[in-house]
Structures are given as structure tokens and as C-alpha cells.
Structure 1
């Protein structure tokens, strides 16, 4: 009876362990990145980094997302500041994302967020969800 129980437990652990490994292997063909920043001014070096990684990774370069959150989230509504970054981000294959939680907390009108930016409900949660999918992550 003990052998049967131990064998069953071992079999279940083996199945769950292999499933996790397979999921990681599926994501390993592309290098995906997510970056959380609190300052619009940091977009310049972030986009330059994305361009360098794209050149370095070649065909294995995947998705690159930048989540903007925090106290200075209102800067994204300043078209004079944001338009050059949006243009550079598009060329570099970088997706700019606004944290909806920060927009709400600091009472920023969501209609003034540039149309080319995606808004997620919670930027920190979005970051963790991407990390669970195998994205490489850093916060500035």
C-alpha cells in the first residue's frame, strides 16, 4: 500500500514538473522584456537599450514593453514630451503602457493619454503576469 501511495505521488509530481518545464521551453524561443519606470525622462535610455537588445538578439528578439506608473504619470499627457518618445518607441518595437491605477490615483484624465499607448488596469500586476510568462524584467 505504501508503495502504491509513493508511486502515485511520484507520478503526479513528475507530471506537474514536466508541464512547467514545457511551458518555459515554449517561451524560450524569443527574448521578451518588460520594464517598469516612474519617469518619462527615462524613456530615452530605455528605448536605446531596446534598440541595442533588438540588434543583439536578432531573430530571437520578441516583445519589449515599458510600463509607466507612479507620481509623474501625468507627464504622459504632455504631447510635447511624449510624441518624440512614442515615435522612437514605435520604430524600436517598444510598446508603451500606462498604469491605470496610477492614472486614477493621481487623477489624470485617461482621455488625454496618447492614443498609441495602451492602458492596463494595474501596471505592477501586468508586470508580474508578464514575468510569469517568462519575460525578463527590471524596474527603474
Structure 2
């Protein structure tokens, strides 16, 4: 009888520790965001949004990515124009990602865009992959 009571007690203790660990993990869940855009000037409000969410989320603010797709990738070669966007994005912890498929379609050489920009093979696929990981997503 003592072994049964001790066994039930240990089982209850293990179960409650598992619940506490699960709750603790849930409390530290970070909020991740991704925005798909076809217009470079939209980077300004995207960055402002990231700053507001970072303030609102506090320690829960995670990753924030802005994916640029479409014909607008041709404008990425204007490194002077992109400089201020890149600086503001870095300050706001926003990663600017470029669709490699769009670069190929509109004949933009990867070497002609600022090196701070990350190029992925397919921006739309990248967006979906992030959504599958739980990122909150919006397309502009």
C-alpha cells in the first residue's frame, strides 16, 4: 500500500513538473513576423511597425523579416536610396530579404544589390515556410 501511495505521489509530482515546464516555455514564446511587399517605399511603414511591435512585445519580440518580390527588385540596385532603409532596418532588427526568382525574372544581378540584403531562392516559398513555423504574416 505504501508503494502504491508513493508511486501515485511520484507520478503526480512528475506530471505537475511537466505542466510547470510547459507553462514556463509558453510564457517565453517569441512573436515572429514576416511581411511580403512589392514596393520598396513600403519598407518605411514596415520598419515603423516593427519598432512598435518590438516595444509592445518587449522580450517576446522575435524575428521580423521583410521580403521584397516582383519588379521592384530592379530598384534595389540604387544603393544610395537603399542605404537609409538598410540603416533603419538594422536599428529596428528587421531583416530585408530579396526574392531570387524576381531577381532572375527581371534580370537583376545579385552582385548589384546591397550586400546587407539576404537573397532567398523564392520569396513566396520563404514566406510560406516562415508561416509554417508560426510567423505572423501579411502581404502589402
Same fold at TM > 0.5:
yes
Between structure 1 and structure 2, the one with the greater Rg is: 2
| Two-structure CA RMSD over aligned residues (Å) | 1.5
Partner-residue secondary structure (3-state), 1:98: strand
Counterpart of 2:47 in structure 1 is 47
User: How many residues are treated as equivalent by the alignment?
Assistant: 116
Question: Which ranges in structure 1 are unaligned for 5 or more consecutive residues?
Answer: 1-21
Which stretches in structure 2 are left out of the alignment for 5+ residues?
1-21
Alpha-carbon deviations, 1:21-75, whole Å to 9, x = none? x9xx87x700000000001110001000000000000000000000001011111
- Counterpart residue number, 1:113: 113
Asked if 1:87 is matched to 2:87, the reply is yes
In the aligned structure 2, how far is the partner of 1:62 from the partner of 1:56? 12
Equivalent position SS for 1:41? helix
Alignment of 1:11-22 (within 5 A): none
* Runs of 4+, deviation exceeding 2 Å: none
Q: Please give the alpha-carbon distance, in whole angstroms, between the structure 2 residues aligned to 1:104 and 1:118.
A: 15
